[in-house]
Chains A and B, each alone.
Chain A
C-alpha cells in the first residue's frame, strides 16, 4: 500500500486520490489519451430496440404526418415572398399571392394584440382574383399607381360591374381597418436595411393613431 500515490511508477500520471480505491490496480494500463473529438457516427455496439407498433402507434404516426401537412396549408405558415423580378412580366398580373405583401392572410382578433402589430388583412375573393391583385396595389402603392392604372384601363372595360362592387368594398375595408402607413412600407423597394435608419418614433404609442390621415 502506498501513501497518496507517492512512489508509484515514474512518469505515470499521479492522481490526487488513491486510484486503487476506484479500482485501477497497480500496473494496469490506462486507456490512451483522447486526441480528437469522437467520431461522428460511432459504431453501434448493439441495435436499438424495435419501435412499439400497434394501433396507437400507427394512429399517432398518421396524425403527426397529417398535422404537418395541414399546417403547411394554413395561413399561419408564413411564406417568404417570391424574389422580386427584375422586369415586369406578363404573368405577374396573374400571381395569386403578391410577394411580401403588407397584408396578413387571416383575420386575427386585433383587440387581443398589441396595436403596433396591426397590418392590413388580405381578403380572399374566390373567383375574382385576376382583376383584384393589380387593383389592390393601385389602392395602396403610391409609387406604382400611374403605371398600374394604365395597364388596368383595358381590364376595367371588361369587368366594370364587378369592380364597382369591389371599389365599394375596398373603401369600406379602408375605413374599417386602421391602415398603418409607416414610411418604411414605401421604402421597401430600396436595398438598404431600413431598420438602421429607424429612429424609433414610429413604434411609439402615438404614431399608431393615423387612421384619420387622408390616403393619397
Chain B
C-alpha cells in the first residue's frame, strides 16, 4: 500500500467512524494482520475501545478476521474496500436512477449499516419514505419489498456469508470465531417472507405512545421479544455489480460519441441482456443472437430487423471492437467486448490497430491539457497511437517546434507519463548508434496517475476539514441561531422578534458563511469527480493485470 492510499484510508475512516476506529484501522493497515492483543498494545487504546472499533469495522466489511491454526483470531484491514467509502454517493444515486426512491433508500440503508436483514431494511425504508409523504399517507411494505427483490434479482445486493449450522455437541468447544460462508448459487435468493405492514411516522409528542405502549414498542424495537422470520440472513450491497454497471455506462457513452444514439442503444440492450450472465472481470458477454437482441430492444425503438443487422455489422467492423461477431446462428451472434472496448488493453507488439485505453475516456481529456497544456496532450495522444517515436518524429508529426517539443517531452518524462526506450542498432549498444524512442508505458502512467488521484482526494479532504475547523466558532453560532429561530417559530413569535434574532449574525458573518458553504461544496464536488477518475484507472489496471 502506498503512503497516499494509507493517508486517504485514514481520513475516510476518521470522517465516517471517528478517531478510535481510525486508530485501529490505521494500525491494521500499516502493520498488517494482527490479533486483538497486539492491536491494543499498538494503538494505546483501551481494550473495550478496540473491541468496539473492530465490531464496527467488521460490520461494515472493512475488516475481516481469520482463525489462526493456534486458535488466536487475526484481523485484517481491507484497504480497497475502505477506499470505496468515497463512492457511496455514486452507488446510491445509481440505485435511484434504476429503482427510484425505494431503491435509493434501500442501498443507502445497507451502506450506512454495513449489512441488514431484509425485514429490518424494508421496515426502515418504509418508515423513511412515510416521513416524506403527505399527512395520513403511509408507504406499504410490499412496494419496498418488491424493490428489494428486484435489487437482489439483478445482483445489486447480495446475501452475506452465513454462520454455519453447528451441531449441538458438548464435547467440541465452539470455535473462537465463526467461519462464515455462502455458496455462489445462494447469494441472491430472497427468503420467502410475508412482510406485512406500513411505514410509521416518528411523532415527537404523540399521546398514544406514553406509558405502557411506549415500553412495549421499545421492546419490539430492541428485538428481544421475538426473532424476525429471516433471522441470520443478512444482505449487503454488491459493489462489483455497481462497478460493472458503471463500466457498461462508459461503454455505451463511448459508442454514442463515436457512432450515434441508436448504436449506443443497441449496445446498451445487449449489455442489459447479459447483466447477470456476465461474470465480473469477463472479457466479453455471452453470445447473443440478433433475433434475441431484436426482441429485447426497448419499446420506443422502432427499427426494423434489417436495420438492426446493419447496425450490428457496423459495430462489429469498427476498429475499436466494441462488438464482435461470434457466429451465424439465429441471424448472427454477437458479443460485446468489455475489455478491449472503452477500458482497453494495449495490444502486444506488432499490432497495427489503434488500441483504446483509459486515456481516451472523457474524464481524462481535461487532465492533460490542463496540467500540461494542449500541445503536451497532442504529443501524448500521438505517442499513444504510434507507440514509439523518435524525438524528431514527435516534432514532425505533432507539428510543434523542436524546442517546445523537447521541453514538453522532458516534463512528461519527469512525471513518468512517457518513457524512453533504447533500441540498439549494434550489439555493443553504443549510444551514437542507438535509437532512443519515446513511448507511453500505459500501465506505469496509469499507476502514477492513480497514485496522484489518491493524493488529491486526501488533500481535498484535509483542506475541507481545515476550512470547517477555521470557521468552527461561526458555524456553532449559526447553528444556535437557527435552533433559536426554529423554536421561536414553533411557539409563534412575531416577525420583529424573529428578525432581531436573525440580526445576531452580522452581515460580514453571513458573507463568511456563504463563502464557506461555497468552498466546502466545491471541494466535496471535486472529491466526487476525482473518484470517477479513480474508478476508471483502477478498472483499467485491474483488467490488465488479470489477463494471463
Residues of A within 8 A of B175 (CB): 205
Residues of B within 8 A of A124 (CB): 218
Interface, chain B (partner A; CB < 8 A): 15-21, 35-37, 40-41, 44, 46-49, 51-56, 58-60, 65, 67, 71-73, 88-90, 92-93, 96, 108, 111-114, 163, 173-178, 180, 214, 218, 222-223, 232, 234, 366, 370-371, 373, 391, 402, 405-406, 409, 420, 422, 430-432, 434-436, 521-522, 524-529
Render A14-53 as a binary contact track against B, CB cut-off 8 A, 1 for contact: 0011100111100000000000000000000111110110
- Closest 3 pairs (CB-CB, A-B): A114-B177, A18-B431, A63-B89
Identify which of B20, B59, B73, B409 contacts A114 (C-beta below 8 A): B73
Question: In the docked arrangement, what's the CA distance between A99 and B432, Å?
Answer: 74
Identify which of B51, B177, B218, B402 contacts A119 (C-beta below 8 A): B51
| Distance between B95 CB and nearest chain A CB, rounded to angstroms | 11
| Distance between B183 CB and nearest chain A CB, rounded to angstroms | 17
- Kindly report which residue of chain B lies nearest to residue A209, judged by CB atoms: B173
* Contact indicator B65/A182 (Cβ below 8 Å): no
Could you tell me which residues of chain A, from 120 to 146, have a CB within 8 Å of some CB in chain B? Answer: 123-127
Identify which of B52, B89, B108, B422 contacts A60 (C-beta below 8 A): B89
* Contact indicator B431/A5 (Cβ below 8 Å): yes
* Contact indicator A78/B56 (Cβ below 8 Å): yes
Identify which of B53, B71, B406, B529 contacts A205 (C-beta below 8 A): B71
Question: In the docked arrangement, what's the CA distance between A198 and B72, Å?
Answer: 15
Question: In the docked arrangement, what's the CA distance between A182 and B420, Å?
Answer: 62
Question: In the docked arrangement, what's the CA distance between A108 and B131, Å?
Answer: 26
Given A76-B60, A119-B51, A119-B52: A111 in contact with B232 (beta carbons within 8 A) = yes
Question: In the docked arrangement, what's the CA distance between A3 and B178, Å?
Answer: 71
* Contact indicator B89/A112 (Cβ below 8 Å): no
* Contact indicator A78/B434 (Cβ below 8 Å): no
- Kindly report which residue of chain B lies nearest to residue A63, judged by CB atoms: B89
Q: Is A64 on the interface with B (CB-CB < 8 A)?
A: yes
Given A51-B525, A77-B17: A46 in contact with B72 (beta carbons within 8 A) = no
* Contact indicator B524/A61 (Cβ below 8 Å): yes
* Contact indicator A49/B525 (Cβ below 8 Å): no
Question: In the docked arrangement, what's the CA distance between A158 and B111, Å?
Answer: 44
| Distance between A33 CB and nearest chain B CB, rounded to angstroms | 14
Could you tell me which residues of chain A, from 59 to 78, have a CB within 8 Å of some CB in chain B? Answer: 59-61, 63-65, 67-68, 70-71, 74, 76-78
* Contact indicator B402/A23 (Cβ below 8 Å): yes
Question: In the docked arrangement, what's the CA distance between A3 and B431, Å?
Answer: 9
* Contact indicator B59/A76 (Cβ below 8 Å): yes
Identify which of B65, B73, B234, B370 contacts A48 (C-beta below 8 A): B370
Residues of A within 8 A of B53 (CB): 78
* Contact indicator B528/A60 (Cβ below 8 Å): yes
Residues of B within 8 A of A126 (CB): 214, 218
Given A57-B525, A195-B41: A112 in contact with B52 (beta carbons within 8 A) = no
Q: Is A188 on the interface with B (CB-CB < 8 A)?
A: yes
* Contact indicator B58/A68 (Cβ below 8 Å): no
* Contact indicator A104/B55 (Cβ below 8 Å): yes
Identify which of B17, B111, B232, B527 contacts A64 (C-beta below 8 A): B527
Residues of A within 8 A of B521 (CB): 61
Could you tell me which residues of chain A, from 78 to 136, have a CB within 8 Å of some CB in chain B? Answer: 78-80, 100-104, 107-109, 111-119, 123-127
| Distance between B218 CB and nearest chain A CB, rounded to angstroms | 7
Given A5-B431, A22-B391, A23-B391: A52 in contact with B214 (beta carbons within 8 A) = no
Identify which of B60, B93, B163 contacts A59 (C-beta below 8 A): B93
Interface centre among A5, A24, A111, A123 (most CB of B within 10 A): A111
Identify which of B46, B88, B176, B178 contacts A100 (C-beta below 8 A): B46
Given contacts A47-B370, A80-B49, A108-B59, 17 further A-B contacts (CB under 8 A): A4-B430, A17-B431, A18-B434, A21-B391, A22-B420, A22-B436, A49-B370, A51-B522, A76-B113, A78-B20, A78-B53, A104-B55, A111-B178, A113-B178, A114-B65, A203-B36, A205-B173
Interface centre among A60, A109, A125, A182 (most CB of B within 10 A): A60
* Contact indicator B17/A78 (Cβ below 8 Å): yes
- Kindly report which residue of chain A lies nearest to residue B24, judged by CB atoms: A78
* Contact indicator A111/B528 (Cβ below 8 Å): no
Given A17-B431, A63-B89, A80-B20: A102 in contact with B48 (beta carbons within 8 A) = yes
- Kindly report which residue of chain B lies nearest to residue A102, judged by CB atoms: B48
Question: In the docked arrangement, what's the CA distance between A212 and B471, Å?
Answer: 53
| Distance between B219 CB and nearest chain A CB, rounded to angstroms | 9
Q: Is A196 on the interface with B (CB-CB < 8 A)?
A: yes
* Contact indicator B431/A114 (Cβ below 8 Å): no
Question: In the docked arrangement, what's the CA distance between A205 and B69, Å?
Answer: 12
